[in-house]
Amino acid sequence: MKKGVRLLAVVSGLLRGKNTIALGLVSRMGTIEGVVSTRVQADGTDSTAKLARLFNGTRFREQAKLIVVNGIGFAGLNVLDVQALKRKTGAEVLSITRNKPHPEELVKALRAFSKQGKQNVSSRTGLVKKIGELEEYRHDGYYVQTTLEKGESAKFVSESARLLRLAHLIASGVVLGESRGRV
């Protein structure tokens, strides 16, 4: 994958009510070329479908080759199916987090959520377990999980982290009226 490809960096906004914004920035070689958004259910199951629709519906679709996310949990416990997102969009997926992913903690939270009688979460716990099949490594202080090989994805980590931070600031500004927090 060439370094100059367009990528879409997507984050979910703060939870306020039954759904929240998923905001994406389209960038190429450090230049932001567009902003896209959709809504995802808080603790729901629609993040994969919504992100696929967001990506496939943008005018940047033909040039964008990489989708970057800040972990697989969107809008609380709305777990992203990385492999399905890749299949539905044809784009590679890169997940970047500051903290080491602890899939067992996410599974524990999903089970607690299920015990509250909210929803059956067995399909989501399966998605969390599947994330372990991805290439995983640490780069520039970030934990990376990706459908790409390490050599291919490492060149995108720094720009992707910057875009995720900016997308997070914009999303929190939209939700709260003023940005706060950090990715």
Domain limits, the chain: 6-175
User: What band does 22 get if pLDDT is binned at 50, 70 and 90?
Assistant: very high
3.40.50.1000, 3.40.50.1820, 3.30.2170.10, 3.30.70.260: CATH of 6-175: 3.30.2170.10
- pLDDT at residue number 111: 64
Question: Is residue 114 predicted with pLDDT exceeding 90?
Answer: no
Segment 127-141 shows an average pLDDT of: 75
- Residue 85 has a pLDDT of 94
Q: Can you give the pLDDT at residue 17?
A: 81
pLDDT at residue number 124: 61
User: H-type helices in the chain, by residue range?
Assistant: 47-57, 82-89, 103-115, 122-130, 150-153, 157-176
Mean pLDDT calculated for residue range 119-123: 64
Phi and psi of 15, rounded to 5°? -80, 125
88/83 Cα distance (integer angstroms): 9
Question: How high does pLDDT run on average in the chain?
Answer: 84
Would the pLDDT of 65 be above 60?
Answer: yes
| 76 has a pLDDT exceeding 70 | yes
| pLDDT given at position 127 | 63
Average pLDDT over residues 44-66: 92
Write down the pLDDT at residue 116. 64
